[in-house]
């Protein structure tokens, strides 16, 4: 066997958290990596050294079988770490890098690909010009979906459950970092939520598990609402009328269909597996974030 065939596939997992996610470790082994090496409590200043230690030890051919996975819970920090990792490469010593903090990047990519596919199938349109309202928008999944939708032409608003100022700050941060025009709206009362749902095309519930965010009475008779997505599988679900297994199922009393957490999770699993395998393919390197994950998800659902 040649030099390249004799070398194991090694994935170096960098996280600012105390532990590496067992979910990510399992996914990496299932995708074909032979060894998973964790680095925990990592700060930004340590990323360059870790990456360069990884690339120089295996030679120009060994880097084909070496990858870096960036996890954690902060999407902005993960993107900063990804940027540093890219700048740390010294050709021909370049390895693939994949960022997916808390699985938010692949969850968001799967969710928005499912939304887009449904819009095309049922309404003959894509995200461009579509109004998207995101409830629970200050979390990582809400943030990623907002950026993905905005980047593809949607009119996106983050819905404030409590503090409008906090949501405004999030929107402004995303706009600064990603060149988007994401807005925000007050959704702190039942009547305000109803007003939002009566004027939006897509409602995404990405709030904390176990909290009912929107109700059927607020969705009822909306002339615009087409899709409701809920990422919460813990009772009560975030969106009334949308069960965890819902996969474009009609929502009672509305003209909309729902997608539930487990249906999204199934696609998220497949997208993460595809991206990890993409790092192993060929004799080159790739850099993967939530925007590239969305492109893979779109092709997967075609």
**Strands, E assignment, the chain:** 10-14, 35-39, 66-70, 96-99, 131-135, 155-160, 183-186, 202-205, 227-230, 247-250, 257-259, 287-288
Give the total residue count for the chain: 302
**DSSP reduced 3-state for 260:** coil
pLDDT given at position 87: 97
- Beta bridge pairs of residue 135: 159, 205
pLDDT given at position 1: 35
Q: How many CB atoms lie within 10 A of CB 33?
A: 24
The tens-digit pLDDT sequence of the chain (302 residues) is 344 456 899 999 999 999 999 999 999 999 999 999 999 999 999 999 999 999 998 887 788 899 999 999 898 899 999 999 999 999 999 999 999 999 999 999 999 999 999 999 999 999 999 999 999 888 899 999 999 999 999 999 999 988 899 999 999 999 999 999 999 999 999 999 999 999 999 999 999 888 899 999 999 999 999 999 999 999 999 999 999 999 999 999 999 999 999 999 999 999 999 999 999 987 788 999 999 999 999 999 88
In whole angstroms, give the CA distance from residue 134 to residue 210: 17
Residue with tokens 């979390």: 139
In whole angstroms, give the CA distance from residue 67 to residue 94: 9
For the chain, which domains are there?
3-99 (3.40.50.10280), 107-264 (3.40.50.720)
């Amino acid at each position: 066997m040649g030099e390249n065939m004799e070398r194991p596939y090694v994935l170096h997992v960098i996280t600012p958290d105390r532990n590496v996610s067992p979910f990510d470790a399992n996914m990496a082994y299932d995708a074909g990596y032979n060894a998973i090496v964790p680095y925990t409590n990592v700060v930004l200043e340590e990323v360059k050294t870790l990456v360069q230690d990884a690339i120089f030890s295996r030679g120009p051919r060994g880097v084909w079988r070496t990858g870096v996975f960036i996890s954690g819970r902060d999407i902005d920090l993960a993107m900063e770490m990804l940027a540093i990792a890219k700048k740390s490469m010294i050709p021909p010593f370049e390895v693939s890098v994949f960022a997916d903090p808390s699985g938010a990047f692949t969850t968001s990519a799967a969710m928005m690909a499912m939304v887009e596919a449904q819009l095309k199938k049922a309404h003959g349109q894509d995200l461009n010009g579509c109004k998207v309202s995101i409830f629970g928008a200050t979390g990582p999944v809400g943030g990623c979906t907002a950026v993905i939708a905005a980047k593809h032409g949607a009119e996106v608003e983050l819905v404030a459950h409590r503090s409008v100022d906090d949501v405004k700050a999030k929107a402004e941060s995303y706009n600064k970092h990603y060149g988007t025009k994401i807005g925000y709206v007050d959704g702190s009362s039942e009547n305000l939520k109803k007003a939002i749902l009566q004027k939006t095309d897509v409602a995404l519930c990405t709030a904390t598990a176990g909290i009912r965010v929107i109700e059927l009475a607020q969705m009822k008779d909306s002339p615009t609402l087409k899709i409701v997505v809920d990422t919460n599988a813990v009772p009560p679900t975030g969106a009334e009328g949308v069960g965890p297994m819902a996969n474009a199922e009609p929502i009672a009393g509305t003209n909309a269909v729902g997608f539930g957490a487990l249906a999204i999770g199934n696609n998220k699993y497949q997208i993460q597996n595809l991206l990890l395998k993409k790092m192993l393919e060929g004799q080159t390197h790739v850099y993967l974030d939530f925007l590239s994950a969305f492109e893979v998800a779109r092709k997967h659902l075609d």
